[in-house]
Copies of this chain bind each other. A is one copy, B any other.
Amino acid sequence: MSWRKEQRRAERGYHHGNLKEALLQAALGLIAEKGAAGFTFADAARMAGVSAAAPYRHFRDRDELLSSIAQRGFEQFEARLSAAWDDGRPDTVTAFERVGKAYLAFAREEPAFYNAMFESGLPVDANPALMAAGERAFGVIRAAAERLAALTPPGIPRPPAMMMALHIWSMSHGIASLFSRGDAARRKLPMSPDELLEAEVLIYLRGLGFPIDRRPAGKRAEPPPVPPEAASGSGVPPGGPWGKPK
């Protein structure tokens, strides 16, 4: 044990050189294995080959390391959602579904990030930078919802984009955290989490009046966006399930 530390030190010298990054990586691995609750500051230090006190030169405490990971997670999350959205190409509905899949894929492929972001019990609102990163990620969903809302077929009340975004987020998060990760994933389901989410979103969109079909994407009609004034009127019962705007 001691000779090993000596050896490492011989390799890298007294100073680690990149301890902060090494700690983040170590923590990521540990969280993926044992969850944010089981992750230990001391373990991360051990894994990086330094003493238990060294990490305090780079993070105020264990929570700050966790926050850093959550922050990075939100940034990567935003990147992946953005890529999936691809500015609504080739058509809004297809791209929208791709965002949903990307959400689940991220939860599945980056359990450590997802855990730190949503399940670690971090006081998100106590950390402005963290909250901002979260908002930016949510912004992708929000922007997509905005575009989708603008496509509401004529004669149907247009739903508030913000509400749609929150709905989509809650569906994705609900499925991810109930069925798509850890032990919960072992529950016997009649369909995969991806299929479950896709069906849920499609039914939801249909409920909003979108003429959803199951034809392969790419051959979908995409009518031009309707200006808001045209959305109401024409003999359709006023107000959707979201009530009338106050």
Contacts and interface: CB of A to CB of B under 8 A. Distances in A.
A107 to B, nearest CB: 12
Given A174-B169, A200-B170, A163 B191 contact: yes
A166 B173 CA distance: 13
A218 interface: no
A203 B237 CA distance: 14
Given A124-B183, A179-B166, A183-B125, A203 B119 contact: no
A216 B167 CA distance: 23
Contacts of A160: 190
A186 B125 contact: yes
B240 A203 contact: yes
A243 interface: yes
Main secondary structure on A side of the interface with B:
helix
A119 B214 CA distance: 36
B163 A170 contact: no
Interface stretch (A7-15, A51-59, A205-213, A226-234): A205-213
A239 interface: yes
Which range contains the number of A residues in contact with the other chain? Answer: 35 or more
A165 to B, nearest CB: 10
Given A162-B190, A203-B204, A35 B170 contact: no
B207 A242 contact: no
Interface of A: 35, 37-38, 118-119, 121, 123-126, 159-160, 162-163, 166-167, 169-175, 177-179, 182-184, 186-187, 189-191, 195-196, 198-200, 202-208, 212-214, 237, 239-243
29 contacts: A119-B121, A126-B183, A160-B190, A162-B190, A163-B190, A163-B191, A166-B189, A166-B190, A167-B171, A167-B200, A167-B203, A170-B175, A170-B178, A170-B196, A170-B200, A171-B171, A172-B174, A173-B174, A174-B175, A195-B243, A203-B204, A203-B208, A203-B240, A204-B204, A204-B207, A205-B207, A206-B206, A207-B208, A212-B241
